[in-house]
Amino acid sequence: MKAMLLLLGALVTSTLVGAGEPPQRRALLDGKLTMLVPSEFSLMSDEMRRVKYPGARAPAYVLSNEATTINIAFDQKPVLIKPAELREFEVAVRKGMTGVKFESSGVRKLNGADFVFLVFDSPAIDGTIRNVMTMTSLEGQLLVVSYNCMEARDPGCGALGRTLMESITLKQ
């Protein structure tokens, strides 16, 4: 049964990233972090980023598939935070996120660094958005990396998001 689930996960991931190519490790944010990214993903144009993420809280960078249905957003916010403050921060973030359905949340160690790790669904006009979000302290400031997709359009995309987010490694 376990082997069948692993095979299914591999098939779903290869379908989502196109042509069966596995995600590749990329250096991002001027080399401050690396993570697995599907090979077909490219930097979203500023124009498209403003349309998909209107308002002042838009992420600085977004990688996306060609259809812009699966996105990975990155931003280092001018919010001072220390690694020791992440647990308290996670509680505050959860309280501030109304209207979402949490699957899981907490502070996890990813490749040697502590991260707030949230998995949740949020409502959209045309369906439900699956979100996998991580937050940590990078150079004393809040780093937010989030992944989102619509499982109705891309079945299994939530599993891909977990795999990508769990691959994040910070430059020490």
Distance CA 4, CA 163 (A): 18
What's 157's domain CATH number? 3.40.1000.10
Domain tally, the chain: 1
| Both structure tokens of 159 | 């599993």
Map tokens 């042509």 to a residue: 19
- Which pLDDT belongs to residue 20? 58
Residues 157 and 70: beta-carbon distance below 8 Å: yes
- What are the tens digits of pLDDT across the range 26-54? 999 999 999 999 999 999 999 999 888 88
Distance CA 116, CA 107 (A): 4
- Which pLDDT belongs to residue 3? 31
| Both structure tokens of 125 | 């006009």
- Which pLDDT belongs to residue 108? 95
* Domain containing residue 13: 2-170
- What are the tens digits of pLDDT across the range 88-117? 999 999 999 999 999 999 999 999 999 999
- Say which amino acid occupies 6: L
The DSSP output letter for 53 is S
Distance CA 80, CA 91 (A): 17
- Which pLDDT belongs to residue 52? 87
- pTM for this predicted structure: 0.85
- Which pLDDT belongs to residue 65? 92
Pick the residue with more confidence: 18 or 156? Answer: 156
pLDDT band for 18, please (50, 70, 90 cuts): very low
Secondary element (H or E) of residue 116: strand 113-124
